[in-house]
Amino acid sequence: MQDESLEQWVRRVIVGLDLCPFAAAPMKAGIVRFAEADCADIDEAVAATAQEIARLAETPANELSTTLLALPGWDDFDEFLDLTGAVEAFLEFAGIEELFQVVAFHPDWVAEGEDADDPAAGTNRSPVPALHLLRQEEIARAVRGHPDVDGIPARNAALLRELAQKK
């Protein structure tokens, strides 16, 4: 997985396995931005994320729906979680938490209380640490149009476990 780019991973796993039923349309339309920021510290990483959020804010959604920001070098999972918290704090401080949402992806992703060996953790395991920057308005629209949003996590967990058993 380490030789795979973030975009390849999104196409193969997120869209290919339909882990996010909302991802295929913007990918097909070419309105997903894949960016990379080589940041040495948390302040630089928050600033790079803020720059990408500003780009989203300045660009109509039909031209740029969402951004996935790769952050190579943030391999330590706990430090990456601290960065994610700092970005969320920035959104709140800037008063834009109702406009944008951040979803974290990391090669070592494990949700609190989950087993690191559980294949279901693969829903948030990416080839490189990354932040997915989403517009809240688009999330709300997608959720309203989906028949079973609450069932998505359980379906994804079951699918990833099933695929792991076949290996």
Mean pLDDT throughout 124-132? Answer: 95
Considering the chain, what is the average pLDDT of its residues?
Answer: 93
Number of domains present in the structure of the chain: 1
Number of residues that make up the chain: 167
Report whether pLDDT(153) > 70.
yes
For residue 127, give the DSSP letter: S
| 58 part of a folded domain | yes
> 3-state class of 92 per DSSP?
helix
Mean pLDDT throughout 29-58? Answer: 97
| 155 part of a folded domain | no
d(CA 80, CA 128): 11
| 165 part of a folded domain | no
Report whether pLDDT(123) > 90.
no
The percentage of the chain sitting over the pLDDT mark of 90, rounded to a whole number, equals 76
| 30 part of a folded domain | yes
| 150 part of a folded domain | no
| 160 part of a folded domain | no
pLDDT one-digit tens code per residue, 52-102: 999 999 999 999 999 999 999 999 999 999 999 999 999 999 999 999 999
| 148 part of a folded domain | no
pTM of the model: 0.92
| 93 part of a folded domain | yes
d(CA 151, CA 47): 35
Mean pLDDT throughout 105-126? Answer: 87
Task: Give me the domain span that covers residue 67.
Answer: 6-142
* Predicted pLDDT at 28: 96
* Predicted pLDDT at 1: 44
d(CA 113, CA 147): 28
* Predicted pLDDT at 166: 87
The tokens for 62 are 């039909």
